[in-house]
Amino acid sequence: MAKLYRASEPDVLKPLLDRAALDSDSRERVMGHALGLLADLRAAQSKGWVNQFLQEYRLNSSEGVALLSLAEAFLRVPDPETADLLIADKLGDADWRAHAGKSNSKLVNSVTWGLVVGRVLVGEGSTGPLRRLISRAGEPFVRQAVGAAMKMMGEIFVMGRTIDEAMKRMRRPENKGFTASFDMLGEAARTHADAQRYFQAYVGAVDAVGRDPAAGHSISVKLSALHPRYEVARWSECVPALTEMLEALAVQAASKGIALTVDAEESERLEMSLDIIGAVAGLPSLKGWDGFGMAVQAYGKRARPVIEWANGLDRVMNVRLVKGAYWDSEIKRTQVEGLADYPLFTRKAATDVSYLAVAKDMLAAENIRPAFASHNALTVATIMEWAGNSRDFEFQRLHGMGDGLYERLVQENGYHCRVYAPVGGHRDLLAYLVRRLLENGANSSFVHQLADERLTEAEILADPVAKIAAVGGKRHPSIPLPVDLFGAGGHRNSAGLDLSDVGTLEATVAAVSAPLPLAGGVRGGADLSSTGSDRGLVIPSPDPSREREGSFVAAAITRAHAAFPGWSTTPVDDRAACLERLADLIEKHRDELMAICVQEAFKTIGDAIGEVREAADFCRYYAQQAWLNLHPIELPGPTGERNTLHIEGRGVWATIAPWNFPLAIFLGQTVAALVTGNTVVAKPAPQTPRIAARAVELAHEAGVPVDALVLVIGGPEVGAALTADVRIQGVAFTGSTATSRKIARSLLDDETRPIVPLIAETGGINAMIVDSTALPEQVVADVIASSFRSAGQRCSALRLLLVQEDIADGVIEMLSGAMETLRIGRSGDPATDVGPVIDQAAYDRLMAYRESVKAKIVKTLEAPAEGLFVPPTLVRIGAIEDLNQEWFGPILHVATWEAGKLSETIARVNAKGYGLTMGLHSRIARAAEVIEAEAAVGNLYINRSMIGAVVGSQPFGGEGLSGTGPKAGGPRYLYRFCAERAVSVDTTSAGGNATLLSLDEGGI
């Protein structure tokens, strides 16, 4: 099974194509059945208002997107002011009038006219006649109308607000002959309290359904709803806990005589899910109960072996086959993490092929009771063909979807169909509803195609096997492999590690825990004698001739200065090739570099992977930028003249790196200076010399001359000696604002010294603004990552959370609960979320600050007594102005702001003078436009975390007190390291422009 996880798409599809293929006679019968089902579907579509609504407002239209966006957020907004802003944002720009009266449904037309009126109210302005007519009642009128419409949409797709209400609804005439699988909509727990609440909801649902077992209804359980940290790194914690809870629910369901199905999860959780399901399936207490089941997603490359696994269990298993629910998020995750290949198919037709092949396996399996969840007429007809006269299986559909597809089959032909029925409050379900609408309304889906009158029946019912065979099973061309994410003209993406694979995780843990080799002298003249022996280094003997710190610094600069002429005249393509080779070496020595990051810089395993990848990305990106932009440029001019712009190195650069990114920033600054033709004297932070020394060794191995890159080790005195030397022609520095100021002054103190560039990247009081339209679960996840990952020791880390006061209490409560799930511990443990801070000085400073604000702490955790562990801490402050200093650790401050004062809030943050990162969580597009226009920051993040800038995608760097620019990892960074020299040559003295003589204009 594991070998298929990242296998190539054509290889996985080859046996599936053979398994899913129909012979000509079968194909003819299938098409006949499918055409009949298609007719039933279209007849139902013309009757049901929801089908007509989806047809009128398709998801590829601005109106459809506006409605979905409004539905996703509206019911959770508690304050009228923000609700009005959301309505105006979503209704204001769409052309609702174009849809007026177009539908066959009176209800759809009624809703449309309401939207037309709403558009006038929110978009016409204060002088419009209708606006004037109902100026006093306008906003409440629209707000109430929209609220009613959203609740109506919720009722269509939600079976009931409670399990009793849902069961009662299943007794309505339109559901005659159908059974239900009730889903209590535990999408994902963020806190242990969430998980306990969801568990009790499942217990209650099993009890309610069990009161009438003859009705045949069942319960669907989502494991990620029962544990807030359902992830491979927490295997030893979450798998036993989830097994115990699932066992309790299964025993309860068995005692009631009803069925229980475990829903499918994302692909990285598959092995954990199977471990839990297998343990419960094998319980002696459940022998004889045939109600246990699981869902399998056909878009996964491992779907077929999962069916084989389920069939091999020592019991009958109910298996529900679905197409899949997390396709887009799994594609993005694979790309972001730089994994080898996708765990799923990239073409919709390939998923259909997989579904059919797996369905055939299920029908043939001895120990599987199949259930086929589909709204696709061709899929249903194919399964009917393969099943023959058998009815020993069931179909499934989503509540509110697929009306007309199964009614005739159930009521006249004896087939079984179960409705997957969401249960819960509308306020909590509309995000779920939107995902389901998107899943079933995507351009390539059967539901969307059915609504498109331009498509013929033959196109709608096209054979997926033929489609995939025609392209050789190849991956979708618009979805490149992660390594090719940046396109043919871009740099190669760095390779990541798939830590959701247990074998990879175990091997990585072993690698980063292995003892490091002894550190001797470093090739290229680095001197480790000033480092501390408490960090596991074997210190080489100091140079007895060195009388002061400046002596070896001066010697290093002398070497680099002498090497400059040779390196600067090396062709730019050759310099760039060195960077490419260095990137390859970094990836080749990934395990070793990660181990040093973990053991020297106290990086967690995830952060260590990111560090190595970013270093490789810097090398490849700057190499590519050099190839593109550093060659001489021919400029226009009059005939008889040649004008050229040459881009050259300046001389010797000093690069001074921080300890929090001791490999990525150290190398990023250094290779940028090198590829532009400069030589470099590089100084790492005194806390992290070893990773820098190894990086320099690899750079020399890649072809950078030993004297073109010289490493100097030491503290502030070494840095001061380095920047004070008049031979230094530029400084690239990352660190504190105070140190940056000192460097800037030192570069100007000597009046005889040339004016040289300083590239400084410093920290900031980084704020995230959250309004009441934001999804709290998403906010909390992003806040936890932004504030506490890397123990808060990132310059981009979130320091100040600003929550709209109307929702502050709920967000703080959820955030506090999520903090309780954090694991504080040693860096090499894969379960660790928060490791130690970098050194004793940092620890003392942070702990003293925590003590000074003790009365304002609203949440903190217990930390291990031994080690430099600063507990994640949440501090409530009264106002934005109360925080005026960056605290570089896992300490987050929270304050509130008033609805309608977004611009004022942004201005108050700007007034602090820092300008590194800022975030916004809002579903209002105009709010995003406002913050984009008004935030004075280098990096703005909207509806996502504030850390993890990607080279080439999110160039990083601040302004004001947070840095000078240009932005690292961006297209303009290299120019700052360069000298530009324009050369103009009068060619007339050497014969002029000879090309003019070749022009045939009739002679002279």
Catalytic residue positions? 761, 795
Instruction: Give me the DSSP letters along 219-283.
Output: EEE-GGGS-TT-SGGGHHHHHHHHHHHHHHHHHHHHHHT-EEEEPP--GGGHHHHHHHHHHHHT-
3-state secondary structure of 526: strand
Which of 423, 422, 424, 418 shows the shortest CA–CA distance to 180?
A: 418
User: Which residue in 648, 686, 656, 537 sits closest to 599, CA to CA?
Assistant: 537
Buried b (16+ CB within 10 A) or exposed e, 468-490: bbebebebbeeebbbbebbeeee
Beta bridge partners of 893: 800, 875
Burial class (CB in 10 A: 0-12, 13-18, 19+), 29: middle
Instruction: Tell me the helices (H) and strands (E) count for the chain, helix number first.
Output: 35, 23
- Residue 200's Cβ-count burial label (10 Å; 0-12, 13-18, 19+) is exposed
Give 75's contacts (C-beta < 8 A, 6+ positions apart). Answer: 147, 150, 151, 154, 426, 427, 430
Bridge pairing between strands 939-942 and 917-921: parallel
Report the alpha-carbon distance of residue 766 to residue 763 in Å, rounded.
Answer: 8
Q: 3-class DSSP state for residue 906?
A: helix
Rounded to a whole number of angstroms, the distance between the first and last alpha carbons of the chain is 81
Cα 520 to Cα 537: distance, rounded to the nearest angstrom: 8
Looking at residue 57, the DSSP 8-state letter turns out to be S
- Residues whose CB falls within 8 Å of the CB of residue 161, separated by 6 or more in sequence, listed in order: 423, 424, 425, 426
As a whole number of angstroms, the distance between CA 559 and CA 708 comes to 8
**CA 980, CA 956: separation in Å to the nearest integer?**
24
**What b/e readout covers 69-96, taking b as 16+ CB neighbours within 10 angstroms?**
bbbbbbbbbebebbbbbbbbbbbbebeb
Alpha helices in 711-773 (DSSP H): 716-724, 737-749
Detail the DSSP E strand segments found in 636-777.
Answer: 641-649, 652-656, 679-683, 709-711, 728-734, 758-761, 767-770
Check: CB of residue 667 under 8 Å from CB of residue 619: yes
Which single residue is written with the structure tokens 């054509």?
10
CA atoms within 13 A on the CB side of 920: 24
For the beta sheet containing 633-635, the strands, ordered from the edge strand earlier in sequence to the opposite edge, are 633-635, 641-649, 978-986
d(CA 1001, CA 1004): 8
Q: At what angle do helices 106-123 and 49-56 cross, to 10 degrees?
A: 50
| Alpha helix segments (H runs only) across 543-601 | 549-568, 572-588, 590-601
CB distance 65 to 488 below 8 Å: no
DSSP state letter for 730: E
Residue 308: closest CA among 362, 234, 266, 253 = 362
Backbone angles phi, psi at 654, to 5 degrees: -100, 125
Rounded-to-integer distance, Cα 166 and Cα 183, Å: 10
3-state secondary structure of 981: strand
Contacts of 414 (CB under 8 A, 6+ apart): 391
